Amino acid sequence: MLDRRAVVNRLLARRGDDLVIAGLGAPAWDVAAAGSDDRNFYLWGGMGGAAMVGLGLALARPERRVRVVTGDGEMLMGLGSLATIAQLRPRNLAIIVLDNGRFGETGMQPSHTAGVTQLVGVARACGFPLTFDVESEQALEECADAIHDAVDLMFARIGIAPDAPPRVLPERDGVQLKKRFRAALGLG
């Protein structure tokens, strides 16, 4: 299993002008640890909504690449969103799921991905044209390159160790986050 912070650092290293939606909890902390950026939007208390926020942003700003970084628990809660996203097929959207097989926000109980649920299989069945199931450094490199170079909708599930690195808390004020993100989009 891969180190979550190293994974997120690698996936955001060549982000260019991409917009990043960070899911609830640990994914937000991981994105914040990779570096504060006004093009990061952190979801606080929006469990299950990261993929759909990413969809809305990708549809509204088709000229910008959008990366959603979320966890397995949140993706499981918003599983139906994958069908809608695949149906609309925004070519500028990448859904990245950090999968530790645990519900990290509620005590590290095993999630369904620790059992029989295969998120990549679900994404493929919904119609995602590009999917990655990452379990090694080499596969991570291939995935990071694909995210950087992608010209179509993609889904990546990345197996990470079930650890709890120190929290790096990003801005928590929703109004400030919105203003900062809007300014980064040139919306004042």
CA gap 180, 13 in Å, rounded = 21
Helix, strand or coil, per DSSP, at residue 160: strand
In a 13 Å sphere around the CA of 120, the CA atoms on its Cβ side amount to: 12
CA dihedral 84, 77, 49, 71 (to 10 degrees): -110
Maximum mean pLDDT: which of 66-70, 99-103, 112-116 = 66-70
Give per-residue pLDDT as tens, 37-60: 999 999 877 778 899 999 999 999
- For residue 169, give the 3-state DSSP assignment: coil
39-48, 70-79, 166-175: which range is least confident on average?
A: 166-175
Question: Which residue type occupies 178?
Answer: K
Count other C-beta atoms under 10 Å from residue 115's C-beta: 9
Q: What is the largest CA-CA distance in the chain?
A: 46
CATH architecture of 4-184: 3-Layer(aba) Sandwich (3.40)
Provide the 3-class DSSP secondary structure of residue 180.
helix
Domain residue spans in the chain? 4-184
Q: In which band, very low, low, confident or very high, does the pLDDT at 103 lie, cut at 50, 70 and 90?
A: low
Tell me which H or E stretch contains 179. Answer: helix 174-184
Tokens of 44: 């606080």
Cα dihedral: 117, 123, 127, 130 (round 10): -140
